[in-house]
Amino acid sequence: MAVIGSATDTLNTALKSNIVPDQEYLLQGSVLDQYVEVLLHRLRGLCDNVDSGPESFHDHELCFTLRATSGPGSAMVLPLRVRRALDVPEAPWQLRYVGQHELGDKNRPTVVRSSIDMACSSTIVEFLTELGCRMDFEYISRGYMFRKGRMKITVSKVFKMGGLTNKPGESVEPISQSYLVELSVLAPSGQDAIAEDMRVFAEQLKPLVHLEKIDYKRLAHLQ
Amino acid sequence: MAYNSNSVNISVEAPIENQIQEITYDGQEIYQAPLTLSESLAKYAQKIDFSRALSEINVKKESGDNSDDSKSDGDSKDAFQSNLWPWDSIRNKLRNAYQEVCVLSDVLTIAKEKRYMVLDPVQQEPIETKPMVQIYARKKALTGAASVLLTGAERLKTSQNELLRNRSTPDFHIELLRLRQNWRLKKVSNSIIGDLSYRTAGSKYAQSGMFEVTKAEEEEKSSSPPSSPMPVPAPAKSNSSLRVTVPSELQGVAYIEVLCQKDQEDLCSANINLLNSAPTTANPDVHWQQKLEAAQNVLFCKELFNQLAKEAVQLQAPIPHMVVGNQIMATVLPGIQLVIGLCHSTSSEKKSSQLTPPPSKSDHDHVLEHSLHQLLREVHHKNTHHPFPHPSSAPLGPSKKRYLAGPMAADRYELLEMTQSETLLEQIIKQAQHFFMRMRTEYVLDTIAKEVKDPLISSHWNTLNSPTQSCVKINISTHGYDAVCRTPLVIHVGEKSLKCICRDGKVMHMSYEPQELRDLIFCHINQHQILAVQALAKTMGWQFLGNSNHLGLGAVEPLGNASSCLLASPIGDRLIAVRCEPQSGVQVSVVHSPRTDFFPSRLVTERKWEHLGGQFREVRLEKMEGRNFLHKMELLMASLTSNS
């Protein structure tokens, strides 16, 4: 018991001293299929260690929600994402919580959201289901990732899981005619300097892709 | 005009060319700009006689047409008087001049009449000329002229050189482009700044590697004029139109010197000895590429040494590492030190070192130096080549192992193990230890092979080995009897220990002391001899009665035990006993039973008792014929067999 107590204390002090990277700085954009090669070419020129070619990935993501009825009427919705790499079967699964977007004012160059993630085994889906989570949707994301210093750039295509077949790679259809481009950095809170670096980097990708702060609320409004 | 009857007509007209304002010393003519319309108007206006315009001036003997002209001009002038007032001064001056000319003409008229006045020439005093002054003046004038000519010639020469150079060396911008292809450059206000540090390659060393790129200036004025009319640039001259300036702390040549020394013998004399092969980079004539490479090397060596020194201070070694000035000292094996020094020579030091060539002492270990470079580059590579996470939303930093720690339920010990990594110094010490172990093993094996001719000892080193592990296979065999018996041994040479895998599968661990290996090999030589005799006996049809690897009889051996075997001839009438001792060698004895001839005595009355055997008699092997021990044994067995 004492050991667990001390571990919690250590975690708390770590959180307090801002050394846990739990803030995600994010910029998003999209590029049409026919221009993605040009974008990849430019990213190869800008990013670190692409001498061996860009790193590809093929992930499957399941989004769960946990509805906690803390009181009558006020239902708290907790989103949880489970992601696994389809191309690297030995890699662990990942459970991730992503918080609300903070758009901030105009001076802030990126979206900031809290992000907590951990590696876990494949039994996480059963565990979450037992816990009362409900799967909202799932998708497959396939593309390339790059890194530049602490920044991670992913260029991916999002596929819909088709029909009832739950097997990956079968009957998937792309959601759109474009690729999703994300520029993200995971950093401890308070490190706003990195956001400026991201803005500069995003500037270099113009006009191939405009990486912006996307306001999801407005997107919901458009629909 | 007044006396035009006596004078000659002179026509004056303006030259077609522009007037020359100035002729510079090198013969260049600077022309006056042609007059503009208003300027020429002013010029012509100056010629106007304004006397007629003013009534108070009394007109002398003027021709009518002239006065008419001036009258009309005066009228026109009156019309412009209000706005051409600035010409008033000109008019006044002209009037004064006119007055003077009138007076002069009066005087001349009077003088010409010769009635009132006679003009007599006045004897003028001759100007006194001093010859020396004249010479000095001429000399001064001539030197002035000469300097003008020389500067003109110089200028011509530089322009010609420029042309030549432009033909032989590429343009500054092309050079800059080449530089840009290999080095990082950026423009800061008016200058071009480059960065030669390894930061982009993963280095975290704080010192900056800035250098400045400038256009090479024209050749120095001090360069002596060439004797030949066509100046040929000297071959040593850099023909680059680009110059790089590296900070002074990165100039010169640097390298990491790695010495291995025994005991304290040359502890104090292990000073820096400079390699004389490398070119000095302080020399401005060195090409920029070499200069930058040298500076980069200096930076790299500094980083390496800095890292090693930091580790040497932090590491807790049983015998603490010493860091003194530019040297790190670490104990590799008892009595053997590894000395790592940073040698950095600038050009001034170089000169002094050339005067007194340093005596070459302990050998600089190029292999370890190379390993050190390799180790740091590995660190750099690891700093930049983080593995990409899978799935892609996972964080970038942690290693794959660490990421797996959660699902695999790693304990505290495993997690701590993940954080530990070997420092550069530890790694290089291990390599040095291995180097010494290998050397010692080689030495032991070679000396034994030299000492012992029978049996033969051959060792095969594996070509594939790592910096801290190698392997040697030893074969003990007798010449001519390889097929009969062979004793193979495998020795793994580690960092501080040896592992020997014997013929029978036994594994022996040994320390770094070479004597242990030596003893082991000698034991195996004895064993080999005994086993070889047994194997030979089988082929000869002899019977093998028994053997003992650890004989309890005889004198106590300093190392190991004596081994022996007993052989019987095919019909059993003869026995051979072989005793092998590590120290004294091989003893062979024979016994005959029964003897070929029997003489009954009082004690032994019957022949059958002879079968019990008698006294062993030692064979003097050294007197026997045969190339080696086994050959002798074969001959012995053969001779004993044939007799029966």
Residue range B63-77: mean pLDDT, rounded: 47
Chain A partners of B407 at a C-beta cutoff of 8 Å? 92-93, 119-121
Measure the CA angle with vertex B290, ends B287 and B295; round to 5°. Answer: 120
Is the pLDDT assigned to residue B44 strictly greater than 60?
A: yes
The CATH fold assigned to A22-220 is Hypothetical Protein Pfu-838710-001 (2.40.320)
Mean pLDDT of chain B: 79
Task: Please indicate whether, in this complex, the C-beta atoms of B391 and A186 are within 8 angstroms of each other.
Answer: no
pLDDT given for residue A3 in this prediction: 57
Is the pLDDT assigned to residue B291 strictly greater than 80?
A: yes
Percent of chain B with pLDDT over 90: 17
Contact of A87 with chain B, judged by CB distance below 8 Å, is answered with: yes
One-letter amino acid at B350 equals: K
Which span out of A94-103, B135-144, B345-354, B578-587 was modeled with the highest average pLDDT? Answer: B135-144
Contact of A59 with chain B, judged by CB distance below 8 Å, is answered with: yes
Task: Please indicate whether, in this complex, the C-beta atoms of A88 and B390 are within 8 angstroms of each other.
Answer: yes
Task: Please indicate whether, in this complex, the C-beta atoms of A120 and B406 are within 8 angstroms of each other.
Answer: yes
| CA-based nearest distance B183→chain A, Å | 16
Residue range B585-606: mean pLDDT, rounded: 77
Cα separation, B222 vs B226, in Å, equals: 12
Six token digits for residue B398 = 């942690």
Q: How many CB pairs under 8 A join A and B?
A: 64
Chain A partners of B393 at a C-beta cutoff of 8 Å? 59, 61, 81, 83, 94, 96, 117
pLDDT given for residue B441 in this prediction: 94
pLDDT given for residue B189 in this prediction: 83
| CA-based nearest distance A73→chain B, Å | 34
Nearest to B391 among A48, A91, A118 (CB): A91
Question: Which residues 143-162 of A have a C-beta within 8 angstroms of B?
Answer: 143, 145, 147, 150, 152, 154, 156
End-to-end CA distance of chain A: 52
Cα separation, B525 vs B457, in Å, equals: 9
Chain B partners of A88 at a C-beta cutoff of 8 Å? 390
Task: Please indicate whether, in this complex, the C-beta atoms of A87 and B392 are within 8 angstroms of each other.
Answer: no
Task: Please indicate whether, in this complex, the C-beta atoms of B391 and A21 are within 8 angstroms of each other.
Answer: no
Range with lowest mean pLDDT among A40-49, A175-184, B371-380, B607-616: B607-616
pLDDT given for residue B356 in this prediction: 39
Q: What single DSSP character describes residue A212?
A: B
What would the pLDDT profile of A186-223 be if each residue is shown by its tens digit?
888 777 888 889 999 999 988 889 888 887 777 776 65
What would the pLDDT profile of A124-136 be if each residue is shown by its tens digit?
999 999 988 888 8
Q: Which of B383, B385, B390 to mutate to test the interface with A (most CBs of A within 10 A)?
A: B390
Q: Which of A81, A122, A152 to mutate to test the interface with B (most CBs of B within 10 A)?
A: A152
Contact of B546 with chain A, judged by CB distance below 8 Å, is answered with: no
Nearest to B392 among A118, A150, A154 (CB): A154
Whether the bond into B131 is cis, omega within 30 of 0: no
pLDDT given for residue A181 in this prediction: 94
Is the pLDDT assigned to residue B71 strictly greater than 60?
A: no
Task: Please indicate whether, in this complex, the C-beta atoms of A94 and B407 are within 8 angstroms of each other.
Answer: no
Name the more confident of B332 and B350: B332
Residue range B424-435: mean pLDDT, rounded: 90
Residue range B86-95: mean pLDDT, rounded: 84
Is the pLDDT assigned to residue B538 strictly greater than 60?
A: yes
Measure the CA angle with vertex B349, ends B344 and B350; round to 5°. Answer: 90
Contact of A11 with chain B, judged by CB distance below 8 Å, is answered with: no
Nearest to A48 among B384, B390, B404 (CB): B384
Task: Please indicate whether, in this complex, the C-beta atoms of A59 and B392 are within 8 angstroms of each other.
Answer: yes
Contact of B204 with chain A, judged by CB distance below 8 Å, is answered with: no
Confidence class of residue A163 from pLDDT cuts 50, 70 and 90? low
Contact of B627 with B533, CB cutoff 8 Å:
no
Contact of A74 with chain B, judged by CB distance below 8 Å, is answered with: no
Task: Please indicate whether, in this complex, the C-beta atoms of B406 and A118 are within 8 angstroms of each other.
Answer: yes
pLDDT given for residue B564 in this prediction: 87
Contact of B197 with B250, CB cutoff 8 Å:
no
List Cβ neighbours of B536 (8 Å cut-off, separation of 6 or more).
Answer: B481, B484, B485, B630, B633, B634, B637
Confidence class of residue B442 from pLDDT cuts 50, 70 and 90? very high
Residue of A nearest to B402 (CA): A119
Confidence class of residue B458 from pLDDT cuts 50, 70 and 90? very high
Confidence class of residue B393 from pLDDT cuts 50, 70 and 90? confident
pLDDT given for residue B152 in this prediction: 93
Range with lowest mean pLDDT among A103-117, B146-160, B430-444, B585-599: B585-599
Task: Please indicate whether, in this complex, the C-beta atoms of A84 and B386 are within 8 angstroms of each other.
Answer: no
Q: Which of B198, B204, B393 to mutate to test the interface with A (most CBs of A within 10 A)?
A: B393
Of B285, B291, B296, whose CA–CA distance to B216 is shortest? B285
Cα separation, B498 vs B531, in Å, equals: 25
Residue range B141-155: mean pLDDT, rounded: 94
Six token digits for residue B312 = 């040497």
Buried b / exposed e across B39-48, counting CB within 10 Å, b at 16+?
A: eeeeeebeeb
Name the more confident of A192 and A146: A146
pLDDT given for residue B381 in this prediction: 86
Chain A partners of B401 at a C-beta cutoff of 8 Å? none
Pairing label, strands A134-148, A55-69? antiparallel
pLDDT given for residue B594 in this prediction: 66
Chain B partners of A91 at a C-beta cutoff of 8 Å? 390-391, 400
Pairing label, strands A151-161, A134-148? antiparallel
Is the pLDDT assigned to residue B72 strictly greater than 80?
A: no
Range with lowest mean pLDDT among B38-52, B210-224, B351-365, B574-588: B351-365
Contact of B552 with chain A, judged by CB distance below 8 Å, is answered with: no
Contact of A125 with chain B, judged by CB distance below 8 Å, is answered with: no
List Cβ neighbours of B358 (8 Å cut-off, separation of 6 or more).
Answer: B271, B272, B273, B274
Contact of A57 with chain B, judged by CB distance below 8 Å, is answered with: yes
For B234, B263, B293, B539, the CA distances from B329, given in Å and listed in that order, are 47, 12, 29, 60
Which span out of A87-91, B30-34, B143-147 was modeled with the highest average pLDDT? Answer: B143-147
Confidence class of residue B283 from pLDDT cuts 50, 70 and 90? low
Task: Please indicate whether, in this complex, the C-beta atoms of A57 and B392 are within 8 angstroms of each other.
Answer: yes
What would the pLDDT profile of B248-264 be if each residue is shown by its tens digit?
888 888 888 888 887 65
The complex's ipTM works out to 0.79
What would the pLDDT profile of B349-366 be if each residue is shown by its tens digit?
444 444 334 444 556 788
Task: Please indicate whether, in this complex, the C-beta atoms of A119 and B407 are within 8 angstroms of each other.
Answer: yes
pLDDT given for residue B279 in this prediction: 45
Is the pLDDT assigned to residue A166 strictly greater than 70?
A: no
Residue of B nearest to A149 (CA): B384
**Domain residue ranges of chain A, discontinuous segments joined by +:** 22-220
Total residues found in chain A within this entry: 223
Percent of chain A with pLDDT over 70: 88
One-letter amino acid at B157 equals: K
Q: Is B492 helix (H, G, I), strand (E, B) or coil?
A: strand
Task: Please indicate whether, in this complex, the C-beta atoms of A84 and B393 are within 8 angstroms of each other.
Answer: no
Task: Please indicate whether, in this complex, the C-beta atoms of B385 and A55 are within 8 angstroms of each other.
Answer: no
Task: Please indicate whether, in this complex, the C-beta atoms of A117 and B394 are within 8 angstroms of each other.
Answer: yes
Cα separation, B75 vs B69, in Å, equals: 10
Confidence class of residue B627 from pLDDT cuts 50, 70 and 90? confident
Is the pLDDT assigned to residue B59 strictly greater than 70?
A: no
Six token digits for residue B508 = 């022996």
Confidence class of residue A82 from pLDDT cuts 50, 70 and 90? very high
Contact of A83 with chain B, judged by CB distance below 8 Å, is answered with: yes
Residue of A nearest to B387 (CA): A55
List Cβ neighbours of A198 (8 Å cut-off, separation of 6 or more).
Answer: A25, A27, A109, A110, A151, A183, A185
Q: What single DSSP character describes residue B406?
A: T
Confidence class of residue B278 from pLDDT cuts 50, 70 and 90? very low
How many beta carbons lie within 10 A of that of residue B311, not counting itself? Answer: 20
What would the pLDDT profile of B175-200 be if each residue is shown by its tens digit?
888 888 888 888 888 888 988 888 88
Contact of A75 with A58, CB cutoff 8 Å:
no
**Domain residue ranges of chain B, discontinuous segments joined by +:** 427-527, 536-641
Confidence class of residue B61 from pLDDT cuts 50, 70 and 90? very low
Task: Please indicate whether, in this complex, the C-beta atoms of B392 and A147 are within 8 angstroms of each other.
Answer: no
Contact of B412 with chain A, judged by CB distance below 8 Å, is answered with: no
Six token digits for residue B454 = 């029978």
| CA-based nearest distance A209→chain B, Å | 20
| CA-based nearest distance A70→chain B, Å | 30
φ and ψ of A59, to 5 deg: -115, 155
Greatest pairwise CA separation for chain A in angstroms: 59
Residue range B213-234: mean pLDDT, rounded: 50
Contact of B386 with chain A, judged by CB distance below 8 Å, is answered with: yes
Range with lowest mean pLDDT among A157-161, B44-48, B52-56, B186-190: B52-56
Of B201, B210, B207, B431, whose CA–CA distance to B305 is shortest? B207
Contact of B335 with B388, CB cutoff 8 Å:
no
pLDDT given for residue A180 in this prediction: 94
pLDDT given for residue B90 in this prediction: 84
Task: Please indicate whether, in this complex, the C-beta atoms of B406 and A119 are within 8 angstroms of each other.
Answer: yes
Contact of A23 with chain B, judged by CB distance below 8 Å, is answered with: no
Cα separation, B1 vs B439, in Å, equals: 121
Residue range B21-45: mean pLDDT, rounded: 81
Helices (H), B240-333: 288-314
Task: Please indicate whether, in this complex, the C-beta atoms of A156 and B395 are within 8 angstroms of each other.
Answer: no
For B311, B379, B424, B537, the CA distances from B316, given in Å and listed in that order, are 9, 22, 14, 59
Residue with tokens 């001259």: B237
Chain A partners of B405 at a C-beta cutoff of 8 Å? 119
Contact of B632 with B455, CB cutoff 8 Å:
no
